[in-house]
Copies of this chain bind each other. A is one copy, B any other.
Amino acid sequence: MRTNVCEMLGIDVPIFAFTHCRDVVVEVSRAGGLGVLGMVGFSVEQVKEELDWIDAHIGDKPYGVDIVIPQKYEGIGQADPAQLEQKLKAMVPQGHHDFAAKILKDHGVPEWPDDSEMGLIGWTEATARPQLEEALKRPNVRLVANALGTPPQEVIDEIHASGRLVAALCGKIKQGLQHKAAGVDIIIAQGAEGGGHTGDIGSIVLWPQMVDAVAPTPVLAAGGVGNGRQMAAALAMGCAGVWTGSLWLTVTEAHAEPAQKEELLKATSEDTVRSRSWTGKPARMVRNDWTEAWEAPENPKPLGMPLQGLVSADAIRRTSRYAGVADTRKVIFNPCGQVIGQINQVESSKEVVFRLLNEYVDTLERLNGLLDGKA
């Protein structure tokens, strides 16, 4: 099922894998799709290390990177990273830090082993920009995706000038039109089912409307694709490919601790919730004691983005690292979509790509059979 995005990016099949694991990026790109490295949370040094590794293993295959450059935050001017971070830190009430610390303590989550601080890495233009500069040094990076809003115009222009394509996520038609107007090359339409930051409109309604609204700009379907039947549905509705995330959280190559993968493998589609408790904006994740704690009426309410990220930054790294210790798994940060309910066994990344393709072909054969009158 070659579509126009395959031509645009030099890939064989329009399967895009959003992941924070370099191994998954490499495996998916080598299997004919496009691996996209989510860089939020990585320091520039880490970004360099990950991209070096990818470049050393991916051969001549293309890949992408995903950044978070919002246009602006309400009431916060742009500043140099250090100044900005100080300014933001001063805005977080101590009670929020104490509340987060108590949740972790109550669940036996070990302290971080050194006194390094988690900053606001990658959640602002000031911190994401150096990540981008590093990525643009790499010839195999063919796509830069922005996870939150339309990228600033100068960022789009810089990426285009370097010969790469720009993609951007959205959950509303209005945002898709803004992306298109700004020169974004590929629109990623994410339905409410999706993991991470997500809106209200379901994929089955959002995808075809977006396709029509931004045509001829290609649309990737995000939010709810876990098998080849769902991929066929996306292409049937006019999407040029699928943008998948949850699919790659539990693959063999994913870096998470076994306890974290177990929580994901056992989650049903009803076990996710849209919560502001980690980033400050509604994001879908596995419901657990952390998300419930921030919902309870008597407790502090999540702050906005990026402030809540300063409250949760330490919790993110500790729960991820110590997922298997005590009750850590009950307060872990596990962003994923409702499609997680379909993901119940560990596969390799390559097996996932080939499974999707096989299921896709079987689906089309079945649909053709129905048209021929076979029930």
Checking B192, B229, B235, B268 against A208 with a beta-carbon cut-off of 8 angstroms, the contacting residue is B229
Q: Are A338 and B205 in contact (CB under 8 A)?
A: yes
User: What per-residue 1/0 map shows which CB atoms of A227-250 lie under 8 Å from chain B?
Assistant: 101101111111000000000000
Q: Is A342 an interface position by the 8 A CB rule?
A: yes
Chain B residues with Cβ below 8 Å from A230 are: 204, 208, 237
Whether B204 pairs with A203 at a CB distance below 8 angstroms is yes
Secondary structure of the A side of the interface? helix
Across-interface contacts of A364 in B (CB, < 8 A): 236, 367-368, 371
Count of A interface residues, CB-CB < 8 Å: 52
A188 to chain B, nearest CB (A): 15
- A172 located at the interface, meaning its Cβ lies under 8 Å from any Cβ of chain B in the complex: yes
From the candidates B237, B342, B361, B371, name the one contacting A205 in the complex (CB within 8 A): B342
The winner among A223, A225, A233 for most chain B CB atoms within 10 A is A233
Question: How far apart sit A350 and B229, CA to CA, in the bound complex (Å)?
Answer: 29
State whether A204 touches B204 (Cβ < 8 A).
yes
Report chain B residues within 8 Å CB of A3. Answer: 370, 375
B208 contacts A193, C-beta separation under 8 Å: no
Shortest CB distance A267–B (Å) = 12
Q: Is A233 in contact with B204, judged by CB distance below 8 angstroms?
A: yes
Residue among A173, A337, A338 with the most chain B CB within 10 A?
Answer: A338
Residue of B nearest to A191 (CB): B202
Q: How far is the CB of A274 from chain B (nearest CB, A)?
A: 10
Q: Give 25 pairs: A residue, B residue, CB < 8 Å, sorted on A.
A: A1-B367, A1-B371, A2-B375, A4-B375, A6-B375, A173-B268, A193-B202, A201-B338, A202-B224, A202-B338, A203-B203, A203-B204, A204-B223, A204-B230, A205-B224, A206-B269, A208-B229, A232-B237, A233-B236, A233-B237, A235-B367, A236-B236, A236-B363, A361-B371, A364-B368
